[in-house]
Amino acid sequence: MKQKIQVPAIHTLLHTPEAARLLQEFPRELVTDALRFAVKKEREQQMQQIEKEPATTTALCAAASALLQKDYSASCRKVINATGTILHTNLGRAKLSLAVQEQLYDAAFEFTNVEYDLESGRRGSRYQHLEKLLTKLTGAESALIVNNNAAAVLLLLATFCRQKEVIVSRGELVEIGGSFRIPEIMQLGGAVLREVGTTNKTHLADYEQAFDPEKTSAFLKVHTSNFHIEGFTESVSIQQLRPLADECQVPLFYDMGSGILVNLEKYGIQHEETVQEALAAGADIVTFSGDKLLGGPQAGVIVGKKTFIDALKKNQLTRALRVDKMTIAALEGTLRLYLDEQEISEKLPFYRMLSTPVEALQEKASYLKDELAGLAELHSEVKESIAQIGGGSMPDVKLPTFVVAVRPQAFGVQNLEVALRKLEIPIIVRVQQDELLFDMRTVEKEEILLIAQSIRQILTGKED
Ligand X SMILES: *Cc1c(COP(=O)(O)O)cnc(C)c1O
Residues of this chain that bind ligand X (CB under 6 A): 148-150, 174, 176, 180, 222-223, 225, 255, 257-258, 289, 300, 392
CB of 225 to ligand X, least distance (A): 3
Residue number with CB closer to ligand X (170 or 383): 170
CB of 215 to ligand X, least distance (A): 24
Closest chain position to ligand X (CB): 257
CB of 176 to ligand X, least distance (A): 4
CA dist., res. 241 & res. 211, Å (int)? 12
Q: What is the 3-state secondary structure (H, E, C) of 273-314?
A: CCHHHHHHCCCCEEEEECCCCCCCCCCEEEEECHHHHHHHHH
CA dist., res. 91 & res. 81, Å (int)? 8
CB of 224 to ligand X, least distance (A): 7
Task: DSSP letter for 436, please.
Answer: E
Residue number with CB closer to ligand X (156 or 437): 156
Residue number with CB closer to ligand X (260 or 437): 260
Burial class (CB in 10 A: 0-12, 13-18, 19+), 411: middle
CB of 89 to ligand X, least distance (A): 8
b/e per residue, 239-270, with b = 16+ CB within 10 A? eebbebbeebebbbbbbbbbbbbbebeeeebe
Residue number with CB closer to ligand X (171 or 408): 171
Residue number with CB closer to ligand X (85 or 225): 225
b/e per residue, 333-370, with b = 16+ CB within 10 A? bbbbbbeeeeebbebbbbbbbbbbeeeebbebbebbbe
CA dist., res. 152 & res. 285, Å (int)? 10
Let me know: does 401 contact 431? Beta carbons within 8 Å.
no
Let me know: does 15 contact 64? Beta carbons within 8 Å.
no
Residue number with CB closer to ligand X (180 or 438): 180
CB of 182 to ligand X, least distance (A): 8
Residue number with CB closer to ligand X (189 or 257): 257
CB of 150 to ligand X, least distance (A): 3
